[in-house]
Amino acid sequence: MASQDKPSGNMLWGGRFTGGLDPLMVHYNESIYFDKVLYKQDIQGSIAFARANAKNGIISQAEFQKLEQGLLAVQKEWETGTFVIVPGVDEDIHTANERRLGEIIGKDVAGKLHTGRSRNEQIATDMRLWLRDELHAIEDHLRAFLRVIAARAEQEIDVIMPGYTHLQRAQPIRWSHWMLSYGFAFAADLERLGEVIKRVNRSALGCGALAGNPFGIDRDMMAAELGFDGLLWNSMGAVADRDFVAETLQWGSMLMQHISRWAEDLIIYSTGEFGFVRLADAYSTGSSLMPQKKNPDSLELLRGKSGRAFGHMAGFMMTLKGLPSTYNKDLQESVEPMLDHVKTVGDSIQIANGVLATLAIQPDKMQASLDPFMLATDLADYLVRKGVPFRETHHISGRCVALSEQTGTPMNELSYAQLKAIDARFDEDIADVFDYEKSVEMRSAKGGTSKSSVLEQIKVLKAMIG
């Protein structure tokens, strides 16, 4: 067949090639079936680039208007689902859009669109535009989730539950305090996301293949039109840079780690052995064999998808680590993990929000799980207030625990005489120590589990949400 009919002859880069490509190589090389999601950003970037070329006199104003109208017509086809991808020809979203543009307005004018531009800068621009908008949407989802955490913490502040270390009952806390422990982790994620977006929202357009644009194109003008905060200042670095993707994947991995740990706690709290919470039917499933089962599948999927998110990050960083400078085709591997990661993270936040918004708590079960042994530190603190060194009080409190275990008597039911026999500095008001509400209220320093401290945390969290 004639060279122009060969796969390589139809590509944007095909002029210097005289032979056809291996059909498998054509499929292996093309990205159109996943980067087509960038169609709108590609067209926005092309319009901005054409406008800047019209300003420079590289194309006429009439040609710009024709290009703009044609590009908007291509966008309409994508939006209505009528765009037809030509297999083996439409290598990527850039090739597809330019091919279709030529069919609509004619190749003579369409062929001027790419003047001074490289797909290296084009894909970097498209990805940054798409990711910026998606991360703003994720910001909104994360804020909505944090508002639910703050609202429930405020509404359910009087509920007391066991706090755990090593999954062993440790000290009594407020249920709200537990929610806020994750709330502040998610709020830190929100702060970090804002920093990521700043670095995503920089323009590579006008950098050419690597060395810059030969026509003095106005990069600032294009960046302003596309809503970028500023420019990438080195053309070589701009086309090679995928740190903005890697950083997004790192950010999402940390967020998903927090979601996974949050989900794990709720999975445990929803078991029959704990019974602290009950998931709504909308976020649970049953068993195909055991009709009594109500499985926390939403939480298990959140926990599981954290591994998927980590994989995106680790895999892509392995792709980046050995690349020489400027553009290499390996960077095509940045698009798919970015797309899947953003969807995974965005969906996960919304599911977590739904779970928490519809979750029913069981305060009686939480109360019943409180154990007098959890007040052993309060027993030690009682003596500290009488001037006894803490290391000594810790030992004395441990002897009280041992006596409780040896006699089978709950620690709060040990007699005053029994406690006095352990240490003469115990007075009759020692009985006041065995009060869970008093215990949480004693933790009134900033960040503690007293009501005043928790209310202060809620106020701080709300300010962080914005």
Query: What's the chain's Rg over C-alpha atoms?
Result: 31
- The answer to whether the beta carbons of residues 262 and 298 sit under 8 Å apart is no
* Strand intervals (E) in 99-226: 160-165, 168-174, 202-203
- The Cα 413–Cα 44 span in angstroms is 74
Q: What are the structural domains, with CATH classification, of the chain?
A: 31-115 (1.10.275.10), 120-197+236-368 (1.20.200.10), 372-434 (1.10.40.30)
Backbone dihedral angles phi then psi of residue 304, each to the nearest 5 degrees: -70, -40
Per-residue pLDDT tens digits of the chain, which is 466 residues long: 333 444 555 555 455 555 566 888 888 888 999 999 999 999 999 999 999 999 999 999 999 999 999 999 999 999 999 999 999 899 999 999 999 999 999 999 999 999 999 999 999 999 999 999 999 999 999 999 999 999 999 999 999 999 999 999 999 999 999 999 999 999 999 999 999 999 999 999 999 999 999 999 999 999 999 999 999 999 999 999 999 999 999 999 999 999 999 999 999 999 999 999 999 999 987 655 565 568 999 999 999 999 999 999 999 999 999 999 999 999 999 999 999 999 999 999 999 999 999 999 999 999 999 999 999 999 899 999 999 999 999 999 999 999 999 999 998 999 999 999 999 899 999 999 999 999 999 999 999 999 999 999 999 999 999 9
- The answer to whether the beta carbons of residues 156 and 148 sit under 8 Å apart is no
Those residues whose C-beta lies under 8 Å from the C-beta of residue 311, and which sit 6 or more positions away, are none
For residue 406, the tally of other CB atoms under 10 A from its CB is 8
CA neighbours within 13 Å on the CB side: how many for 81? 0
Cα–Cα distances (Å) from 241 to 43, 48, 174, 246, 341, in that order, read: 21, 21, 46, 10, 18
Cα-Cα end-to-end distance for the chain: 63
* Paired tokens of 160: 């007391």
- The answer to whether the beta carbons of residues 45 and 205 sit under 8 Å apart is yes
Q: Is the dihedral of CA 130, 132, 133, 137 positive or negative?
A: positive
- The answer to whether the beta carbons of residues 123 and 201 sit under 8 Å apart is no
- The Cα 21–Cα 129 span in angstroms is 32
Which residue is associated with the tokens 């054509």? 26
- The answer to whether the beta carbons of residues 199 and 244 sit under 8 Å apart is yes
Going by C-alpha positions, the residue among 259, 260, 252, 256 that lies closest to residue 337 is: 252
- The answer to whether the beta carbons of residues 209 and 239 sit under 8 Å apart is yes
Helix (H) or strand (E) holding 268: helix 243-269
- In the chain, DSSP finds a helix count (H) and a strand count (E) of 19, 6
pTM above 0.85, yes or no: yes
pLDDT at site 13: 47
pLDDT at site 403: 93
pLDDT at site 290: 64
Catalytic residues: 166, 287
- The Cα 229–Cα 197 span in angstroms is 10
pLDDT at site 113: 96
- The Cα 342–Cα 391 span in angstroms is 51
- The Cα 280–Cα 242 span in angstroms is 41
Those residues whose C-beta lies under 8 Å from the C-beta of residue 454, and which sit 6 or more positions away, are 153, 157, 174, 176, 177, 180
- The Cα 244–Cα 336 span in angstroms is 14
Q: What is the DSSP string of 44-110?
A: HHHHHHHHHHHHHTSS-HHHHHHHHHHHHHHHHHHHHT-----TTT--SHHHHHHHHHHHHH-HHHH
Q: Is 447 left (phi over 0), alpha (psi -120 to 50) or beta?
A: left
Cα–Cα distances (Å) from 222 to 57, 205, 326, 452, in that order, read: 15, 7, 22, 52
